[in-house]
Amino acid sequence: MSRKYKIVHISQTPLVAAPSKIAIAQRMIGHDAIAIALNDYPNNGPLFGKFIEDYIVEDEFTKSLVDNAIQSADIIHIHNDIPPAWAERLLHANQTAKFFYQVHSPLREGPLYLPRQTDIKLPFSASFVVGQFQPRIHNEHIFVPNIIHDIPKGTIRKKGEKLRVIFSPTHLRPGRWNNKYVAELDSAMNSLVSLGKIEAVIPNKPVSPKTLMTMRKTCHVTIDEIATGGFHQVSIEGLAAGNVTINRADYFCKAVFSSFSEGVPPPFVYATGESIADRLEELANDWEKTAEIQESSLNYFKSYLTPEKMAKVFDNAYETF
């Protein structure tokens, strides 16, 4: 059984809550873990205030708490980047902690990211990367998972129910791996809505992650992205919500992800821009197939992807180095 650590996660921004979710999961299995964000997202942008809830942001009131956490930490886990002054502060405050680096972003895509682990003057024991499409780019890193904390629960489709499909891209940003939009999806969904085959659930403004997940659990299908050959956190959320989860994840991405699930690949449904209309129509016409895949999604999440199990992946990574 793993020993219990004092762990501090540090990121410049909330990184859509990924570091704080790791800290929460680590607390669930007995570690003393916190997440520090140096800043929230810009207050004039759509993400402001949406992902900061479980972080500590340093101010006059919290500075002593942050100082104490840094000084007593066994593990300091840096995400994406920190300023040089923070690296100096960490080294000065704690000479015994093990340092780990984790990258979350593709290279040279918005928000513009370049590898920083060699620029941050800290003695990193190892570098991690989110185990989805990212290892294809950052191929010298150890795979670690994104973590979903929602209780797995879905609305399994019944006979006579119209297929409810949710699509909620956070942006329309172009890029090789950050792209989440293809025009064919709009055409397919508009046509199937017009024919009365599906009900489309598409937020018309930014909503909180909790609201979006609650809405997802009322749907039968989650569409992640069908542009790149990868997949994003929304696909894992789709599994937790008991949805048929549609993406374009290729063999490599699914094989990487299955390293967290005893080698069992996730029950994603593959689609491209050319095939998405057919995939959705097949599901719309077959409530039993929809229900079967939904049950597979829920069972997969419950079997392999609970926060407690994912936290142990980080234990193994820390203890390997």
The residue among 34 and 233 whose pLDDT is bigger is 34
Of the pLDDT bands very low, low, confident and very high (cuts 50, 70, 90), residue 155 is very high
| Helix pair 233-240, 209-216: axis angle to 10 deg | 50
Taking only the tens place, the pLDDT of each residue in 95-126 is 999 999 998 865 444 444 455 666 788 999 99
Tokens of 182: 């293809």
The answer on pLDDT for 168 being more than 50 is: yes
Which helix (H) or strand (E) segment holds residue 282: the answer is helix 276-284
Asked if residues 246 and 276 have their Cβ atoms less than 8 Å apart, the reply is yes
- Total domains in the chain come to 2
Higher-confidence position of 183 and 108 = 183
| Residue 132's pLDDT band (cuts 50, 70, 90) | confident
Residues 171 and 122 in one domain: no
Q: Are residues 297 and 280 in the same domain?
A: yes
Cβ atoms of 189 and 167 closer than 8 Å: yes
Same domain, 300 and 316: no
What's the CA gap between 263 and 314, in Å, rounded? 17
Over pLDDT 70: what percentage of the chain? 89
- Which residue range is the domain that position 227 belongs to? 163-304
Q: Do residues 136 and 187 both lie within one domain?
A: no
Q: Is the pLDDT of residue 265 over 90?
A: yes
> Which of 268, 246, 265 is closest to 255 using CA atoms?
265
Per-residue confidence at 204, pLDDT binned at 50, 70, 90? confident
The average pLDDT across 289-313 equals 98
Mean pLDDT of 252-279: 94
Asked if residue 236 and residue 194 are part of one domain, the reply reads: yes
User: Rounded to an integer, what is the distance from CA 146 to the centroid of its chain?
Assistant: 4
Residue 235, amino acid: S
pLDDT tens column, 236-245? 999 999 999 9
pLDDT band at 137; cut points 50, 70, 90 = low
pLDDT of residue 225: 87
* Residue 156 resides in a domain: no
Asked if residue 157 is part of any domain, the answer here is no
Q: What is the CA radius of gyration of the chain?
A: 20
Is position 79 within any domain? yes
Query: Which residues are registered as beta bridge partners of 231?
Result: none
Q: How confident is the model at residue 77 (pLDDT cuts 50, 70, 90)?
A: very high
Structure-token pair, residue 270: 């593959």
Q: Are residues 197 and 293 in the same domain?
A: yes
Contact at 8 Å (CB) between 202 and 166?
yes
**What is the pTM for the complete model shown?**
0.90
Q: What are phi and psi of 299, to 5 degrees?
A: -65, -40
pLDDT attached to residue 101: 96
Q: Would you give the DSSP letter of residue 161? A: P
CATH number assigned to the domain comprising residue 72: 3.40.50.2000
What does the pLDDT average to over 255-262? 92
102 token code pair: 């984790």
pLDDT for position 227 = 85
Least confident of 4-8, 129-133, 180-184: 180-184
Q: Do 93 and 127 reside in the same domain of the chain? A: yes
Q: Please provide the average confidence, as pLDDT, over all residues in the chain.
A: 90
What confidence tens digit (pLDDT) does each residue in 185-201 have? 999 999 999 999 999 99
**CA-to-CA distance for 64 and 18, rounded, in angstroms?**
24
**96 lies in some domain:** yes
Q: What type of residue sits at position 264?
A: V
Confidence at residue 177, expressed as pLDDT on a 0 to 100 scale = 38
Q: Residues 17-33: pLDDT tens digits? A: 999 999 999 999 999 99
Dist CA 31 CA 10 (whole Å): 16
Structure tokens at 104: 């979350």
Same-domain pairing of 252 and 131:
no
